[in-house]
Amino acid sequence: MRCHLSALCVMILVCLSAPLPAQDVKKAILDYFRKPSSASDTARPVLSDSDKSKLLNKLRHRLPDRLKGATDALQPISLEHEISIGRQIAGNLLGAAALVGDDGLQTYVNKIGRWVADQSERPELPWHFGVLDSHDVNAFAAPGGYIFVTRGLYSLLQNEAELAGVLGHEIGHVIRRHHLKVLQQSRLLDLGRQIIPKKITDNAFAQSLIGQGAEIVSRALDQNAEFEADRLAVILTARAGYDAFALPAVLQQIGHVSRDHDRVALLFKTHPHPDTRLQKLDARLGDRLDHLKGRTLPNRLYHLKPAKTTKPGK
């Protein structure tokens, strides 16, 4: 413990005293817990939560006030804080695209989404699902259990199992806290700005992390996060009693759309190509789920009403 504390303190003092570029300061602090201390020390164990808390508390009392924000960025985010962040992101997202004005549709999607989420290890989250009135083909997840599917994607679905698969992918992002990890990394990467001696209030700092919401949830995640969410979607869909290969069917259909089409431009920009995702799923799952006979339920899929159009002169 003393070794970790001494090394980190020395590293921080060097960063403060030497005329390093801001990016070097950010990278030094972000990488400290990631890389081995030497070429032979490739298996340095990750600090336990209790040891990390003790280290951070020591840092909080010993470091200058302008660096104490670094310890906050490393602290685990509580469930209450996660839900609060997700709620703010969802609110900002809904400010950019409203929900489809169909209560029956929204109730149906929430029913299916919550049933699939109940199959996960985080059923206690206050899950919320909605269909956004956008013709883009996409879906979004925010921390704390806020999930949205666009009208454009919903209109491609052929049955209820495919809806469950799409929602299962976004549920996978939430239960693995993928977007939350991006936010935590952003706090560390923004540390260089905090070191500059100027007052930043908590509310302003929180809002600077959350941004406009739509940008955060549509940001490109690590490809491995997308592949993991695909695998989780297949598992959750199967647990819920649906056809385990419903999501692959949706990916296959999306893959037929030209990547230059406006409706899929953002999806293809922020996700691996559907063909790549299908290949990864096949390599990881093989034939292990072939024996499952889940339901597709095409007759239960809620009929999407046509989008309202504005008459000329109105």
- Please name which of 241, 249, 248, 251 lies closest in space to residue 292, comparing C-alpha atoms: 241
Residue 86 in this model has a pLDDT that exceeds 50:
yes
Q: Is residue 311 part of a domain?
A: no
> Is 191 in contact with 23 (CB distance < 8 Å)?
no
Together in a domain, 7 and 117: no
Summarised one tens digit per residue, pLDDT across range 22-60 is 445 445 544 544 444 444 444 445 667 677 777 767 666
Q: What is the mean pLDDT of residues 189-206?
A: 44
Question: What is the average pLDDT score of the chain?
Answer: 75
Question: Could you tell me what percent of the chain has a pLDDT over 70?
Answer: 58
Residue range(s) defining the domain that contains residue 258: 80-178+217-300
Q: Is residue 63 part of a domain?
A: yes
Together in a domain, 60 and 84: no
Strand partners, 139: 149
- Residue 94 region, left (φ>0) first, then alpha (ψ -120 to 50), else beta? alpha
> Is 133 in contact with 151 (CB distance < 8 Å)?
yes
- Can you give the pTM of this predicted structure? 0.68
Q: Is residue 174 part of a domain?
A: yes
Q: Is residue 314 part of a domain?
A: no
Together in a domain, 127 and 69: no
Total domains in the chain come to 2
Q: Is residue 306 part of a domain?
A: no
Summarised one tens digit per residue, pLDDT across range 274-291 is 888 888 888 887 676 666
Together in a domain, 227 and 156: yes
Q: How many helices (H) and strands (E) does the chain have?
A: 16, 3
Together in a domain, 115 and 165: yes
Q: Is residue 257 part of a domain?
A: yes
Together in a domain, 241 and 141: yes
Ranges 24-33, 139-148, 198-207: which has the least confidence: 198-207
Together in a domain, 154 and 269: yes
Q: What is the pLDDT of residue 292?
A: 73
Together in a domain, 20 and 124: no
Q: Is residue 30 part of a domain?
A: yes
Together in a domain, 99 and 68: no
Summarised one tens digit per residue, pLDDT across range 156-184 is 999 999 999 999 999 999 999 998 888 77
Together in a domain, 257 and 173: yes
Together in a domain, 35 and 172: no
How far apart are alpha carbons 87 and 89 in whole angstroms? Answer: 5
Summarised one tens digit per residue, pLDDT across range 208-237 is 445 445 555 666 577 888 899 999 999 999
Q: Is residue 250 part of a domain?
A: yes
Summarised one tens digit per residue, pLDDT across range 241-274 is 999 999 999 998 887 665 665 666 566 566 777 8
